[in-house]
Amino acid sequence: MSYPARVVITGVGLTSPIGNNLAEFRRNLLAGVSGVTRIEIRYMEPVLAGVCSFDPGTYQSKKDARRGTRAGSIAIYCAREALADGALQLLDLERARVGVYLGITEHGNVETENEIFNIKNYGYDVKFWSHHQNPRSVANNPAGEVTLNLGVTGPHYTIGAACAAGNAAIIQGMQMLQLHEVDVALAGGVSESIHTFGTFASFKAQGALATHPEPSKASRPFDLTRNGIVVSEGGCVFVLERLDSAINRRARVYAEIVGHAMNSDAFDFVLPEPKQQQACIQLAMDRAGMSPRDIHLVSTHATGTLLGDVQECIALRNVFADISTVHINNTKSFIGHAMGAAAALELAGNLPSLVDGIVHPTINVDELDPQCALGQLVIGAPRSADRIDTVMNISAGMLGTNAVLIVQRFTQC
């Protein structure tokens, strides 16, 4: 009987509201630094958001950045940084064997809003509509911009799985490696959501847009006074390889992907369903050959909405209620909700725990909601653990999509 090839993470490239590489991101997570600020947005009063500060000019010409999209610039920056972090040179790669798989929540809204706003100033004369609009707004754009920038000719596409998209794209990259369709997978998630007023307006209409007089305290999953989502931009791309390839080139291995699962709630447009979230968690553990006692760190999806956080906590209690050796945290409390990039960034922020044994905290939990009470939740300050060998990364999204990843510390025999 043959088994699927083992797949490992050998490079990480990211940009987030609190850092433009993994070291900076991790340092601010451990220091309790929030990346939420107040920004101006078209047609609305100032809103709270997580904003990235990377320089698109690092890897793009001004012309290419103007032609493309913010999401494309984020994706290019993260992909290039991931390759550099993984010590992979493009000249050494068979470019037709490199695949690009990026998770997104949506794409094209920013560009369409901008074009409509632009032609409004010209009496809605469509001759002023940009000829770049179609390639900017097609759903595969961010991944396609990466292939153009890198000159790689393997398969590329985006994975539309709402806010579970980052995990879903990593799963896709892993599976393509196991099928030997590619030799290197650039997989993760990106989001430019803060540049569209429609995202903010929709969450506000839903009663799910966070407000707070202090921006740094606005994103507060599990807190009794939480009042919604802080929308953020960001991106994170991983280099994935088959283990034998990584060993052959003596690559540094961050972690091995050992468990994964995706399923659907079939329940509600926006409200998650605990039984299906629990089933997704259990399926990922089953595929990893693990029990709840084998999981040492759980990275939660919780977004700061009143009902969503409670539903996830029900699922977590059903799985981990009696397990004292698991630690639970949340990254959105620092950076807000980076939508399609959320799951990938949250995984990245917890990867160093496999080495240093330190769990970054959940911040802004001033009064824990009793309905979100999890005894293992790390609040306020980092916690040193006796053992962190495994990380479970949980994500969920609108229309009831769930995706769970389990990664494990790799020790070469």
- Residue positions annotated with a catalytic role: 163, 301, 337
Strands 234-242 and 184-191: antiparallel
Sign of CA dihedral 254, 300, 37, 30: negative
Query: Alpha-carbon distance 343 to 325, whole Å?
Result: 23
Q: Are 295 and 326 in contact (CB under 8 A)?
A: yes
Those residues with Cβ within 8 angstroms of residue 175's Cβ, 6 or more apart along the chain or in another chain: none
Q: Are 367 and 241 in contact (CB under 8 A)?
A: no
Count of other CB atoms within 10 angstroms of residue 4 = 11
CA distances in angstroms from 205 to 45, 107, 199, 210, listed in the order given: 14, 21, 10, 12
Q: Are 258 and 406 in contact (CB under 8 A)?
A: yes
Burial of 148 (0-12, 13-18, 19+ CB in 10 A): middle
Q: In what order do the strands lie in the sheet with 47-50?
A: 36-39, 47-50, 231-232
Q: Which residue has the tokens 């047609």?
A: 43
